[in-house]
A and B are shown apart, each in its own frame.
Chain A
Amino acid sequence: MPDIEQTKAKARRIREHALRMVHRANASHIGTGLSMADILAVLYGGVAKVDAANPRDPDRDRVVLSKGHGAAAFYACLAESGFFPVERLATFCEDGTALAGHVSHHVPGVDFSTGSLGHGLSLGCGVALGFKRDGRPGRAFVILSDGECDEGSIWEAALFAPHHRLDNLVAVVDYNKIQSFGTVKEVLDLEPFADKWRAFNWHVEVVDGHDHAALAQAFAAVPAVAGRPTVILADTVKGKGVSFMEDKLLWHYRSPSAEQLEAAIAEVRGTE
């Protein structure tokens, strides 16, 4: 089980790095990075069996950030987990960097490049199926966005995984309820969301996506039901941790100014 004090500290550092990265690069998508920082911190705080000292271990768990636009927070998490020096985060989106604005497998610790939505759950199905057929203990963790669940390919994979009893597959939906043009409810309502996954024969855990203990417990329970994949619907707040970014569509796009960055980091450091 993850050490909650450590994962909370890690989440604070992920948020701070991500804020600095998008500020420096004048990049978008800080809101999504902040909303999933706690999920990443717990996943990389003792849940996923990955080892920065042996990043290509064939038996490692695979982590797919299907919402590839959350790259800044993901790279920050990987650097904080020892996959590469944190100084390298400053190259985010710079000329010649590997740290692209959408997740790149050329970055140490990244298994799959993503960016176009709706690809990750199928990648996870392939990994989970391969591990099962080999009789190996590996698992696949796939982090989805809510807006991403508009994509039909997600539901192709959602249909596949329980049919093939992939209980080593875990999807986490960063359910922050905001997508590109407005709220999920306004653009294309997903509710009743948990019921949809249940109807597809998934085991569903609904948790507060900023409650580290609850997240850790949900991950620890996997597989809660033999033969069933697990989806963790993580109830989150877009922009979490920075009061003026929270629940604001604008921060899907805007990059913080120097003053805003300073204020945001002060808030993040004070969080918890």
Chain B
Amino acid sequence: MRTAFIEGLLEAAKDRPDIVLLTADLGFSVLEKFHDALPAQYLNVGVAEQNMMGMAAGLADLGRTVFTYSIANFPTMRCLEQVRNDICYHGYPVRVVSVGGGLTYASQGYTHHGVEDIGVMRALPGMTVIAPGDPAEAAAATKALCDMPGPAYLRLGKAGEPKVHAGPIDFAIGRALRVRDGADVTLVSTGGMLVYALETAERLAKEGIGARVLSMHTVKPLDEAAIVAALAETALVVTVEEHNVGSGLGAAVAQVVAGIDGPRAAFRRYGLPDERYSRVGGHAYMREMMGDLRALVHAALPRARRGG
């Protein structure tokens, strides 16, 4: 996804001298091609995220569209107040881009796990929050972010994620993509969990359970209509995210669920529990903390079909 991002940004920035890319000294072997092609639109500010975000606001005040690049928690939490006051409050077109969303940097330890970043960013008024599901969505999101007013957070995984979408996609910020149809359960996925959601849906299909899969690449503003439809048309809705379920997509969708009067589908959240952990290992090993999505569906669906 980060390759799709940087290539998409480079293509857009060639015709848009107002686009600049700042990094806080991260992105080795990723950002060089941008720097080499457009040195006047690039700057490594050093290991200083607070300064980077304040500067991004200053540059935006002079009419620039600013992309900042760093790893998961560094451009979101370290400098949260700069993002809130200097960027969001002024409504500047600054795009906070992070790589390593979720447990991507699995073996690197807790400091490098971005598992509350969506929650932190979606707490800010005016902030758009996007976690693309595959490289095609990442490319489309990057393009869309070049033209959108106001601030945004773009949460990417790493490089080399599989492509989910075979052909062109009808991408729009704030509108879920229906990637698969099914009548029994809806899996609402954000970020790179889309692959896992689809794999699970295929296994469920073999067991006679039809699963609709939505790629909810935009967590904020949330596509509430897609959620409301899923709650009406299928018996069980499950959010799927590599993130703390207490503040991310699961929490966002729960707010929609809570607003529905009358009969609706059952609702579950799949992701990381709201707990500290000391586990370290490979990405697949770390994901075991979230349990098995198929098992969750199996456990919840019979009761859901009985009406709750």
| Min C-beta distance of B144 to chain A, whole Å | 24
| A125 at interface by CB-CB < 8 Å | yes
Which B residues are in CB contact (< 8 Å) with A140? 58
Which A residues are in CB contact (< 8 Å) with B54? 119-123, 125-126, 153, 157
A113-B85, A123-B86 known; A130-B64 Cβ under 8 A: yes
Partner of A113, one of B46, B48, B90: B90
Contact B51 A130 (CB under 8 A): no
| A62 at interface by CB-CB < 8 Å | yes
Contact A129 B89 (CB under 8 A): no
CB-contacts of A139-192 with B (<8 A): 140, 152-153, 156-157, 159-160, 163-164
Contact A127 B61 (CB under 8 A): yes
Nearest CB in chain A to that of B60: its residue: A126
Count of A-B residue pairs with CB < 8 Å: 96
Nearest CB in chain B to that of A125: its residue: B55
| Chain A interface helix/strand/loop/mixed | helix
CB-contacts of B47-99 with A (<8 A): 48, 50-64, 81-82, 85-86, 89-90
| Min C-beta distance of B204 to chain A, whole Å | 49
| Min C-beta distance of A171 to chain B, whole Å | 13
Contact B81 A116 (CB under 8 A): yes
Contact B50 A152 (CB under 8 A): yes
Nearest CB in chain A to that of B56: its residue: A126
| Chain B interface helix/strand/loop/mixed | helix
Nearest CB in chain A to that of B82: its residue: A119
| B280 at interface by CB-CB < 8 Å | no
Q: In which size bucket is the chain B interface?
A: 20 to 34
| Min C-beta distance of A130 to chain B, whole Å | 4
Contact B90 A122 (CB under 8 A): no
A116-B81, A140-B58 known; A159-B46 Cβ under 8 A: yes
Nearest CB in chain B to that of A140: its residue: B58
Contact B64 A105 (CB under 8 A): no
Nearest CB in chain A to that of B24: its residue: A156
CB-contacts of A101-148 with B (<8 A): 105, 111-116, 118-131, 133-134, 140
Complex: A153 Cα to B59 Cα, angstroms: 17
Nearest CB in chain A to that of B84: its residue: A116
| In the complex, per-residue mask of A248-267: 1 if CB is within 8 Å of any chain B CB, else 0 | 00000000000000000000
| B45 at interface by CB-CB < 8 Å | yes
Contact A156 B48 (CB under 8 A): yes
Q: Which 8 A-B pairs have the closest CB atoms?
A: A126-B58, A122-B54, A126-B55, A130-B62, A156-B51, A156-B48, A153-B50, A127-B58
16 other A-B residue contacts (CB within 8 Å) besides A123-B86, A156-B50: A113-B85, A116-B81, A118-B50, A122-B55, A122-B86, A125-B58, A126-B60, A127-B59, A127-B62, A130-B63, A131-B62, A152-B50, A153-B51, A156-B48, A160-B46, A160-B55
